[in-house]
Amino acid sequence: MSYTYEYPRPALTVDCVVFGLDEEDLKVLLIKRGVEPFQGRWALPGGFVRMEESLEDAARRELQEEAGIRPNLMEQLYTFGAPERDPRGRVVSVAYFALVKLTDHRVQAATDAREAAWFSVYDVPKLAFDHADILATAHQRLKGKVRYQPIGFELLPPKFTLTQLQRMYEKILERELDKRNFRKKLLAMDLLEELDEVEQDVSHRAARLYRFDHKKYKQLEKAGFNFEL
């Protein structure tokens, strides 16, 4: 015999922090809410988890529905459960963070999102709910993790220059890196494949292009290799 216990239950949502990178800055994807609460306010993509869904499936569905985004790299970030975080009632949110290549993802608002757009992580509008705290937590996770896992390559095009690679790390870590030491350390890992190609359509001297060797990294990782900057 099954029993149903009569007591108040919290609702469950997912919220997604999606980072991208362009020539100017590290970006985060935001949607403008089309419904209450916080109608017209910018927020992270997300929504309620359906009964038949896993948490990650719910996060991916919300990203697709609200912004047309399908990230390759997504992982669970943290659970946010302050009793007053949502004016609709007792709502617990499991947050995810994801990385995408901006050139591969043209955002398009849908469902209950009025707009979807990329903002600089360092210049975001006032966010709904506790999404400013969620974004800050995700940013700190990214800044820490990018130094010991090669996740930053998810933000770059498949073929990139060493200057683009260094700028990516500088934008995430919020500090300048010594060019000589940075390149020496990265090249010594032997994970960058030098291509017989250079930049195209640039006004300056065209730089050599490289590609990250994901297959080799996986092999080295199994053998105990530690990626660390």
Query: Which among 53, 56, 65, 115 is annotated as catalytic?
Result: 115
Residues 6+ apart with CB under 8 A from 179: 166
Q: Is the dihedral of CA 105, 95, 167, 164 positive or negative?
A: negative
Contact between residue 150 and residue 227 where contact means Cβ atoms under 8 Å apart: yes
**Residue 115 is a catalytic residue:** yes
Per DSSP, the three-state class of 99 is strand
**Residue 133, class by beta-carbon neighbours within 10 Å (0-12 exposed, 13-18 middle, 19+ buried)?**
middle
**Residue 38, class by beta-carbon neighbours within 10 Å (0-12 exposed, 13-18 middle, 19+ buried)?**
middle
Q: Shortest CA distance to 118 belongs to which of 207, 41, 29?
A: 29
Beta bridge partners of residue 74, listed in sequence order: 98
Which residues form the catalytic set? 115
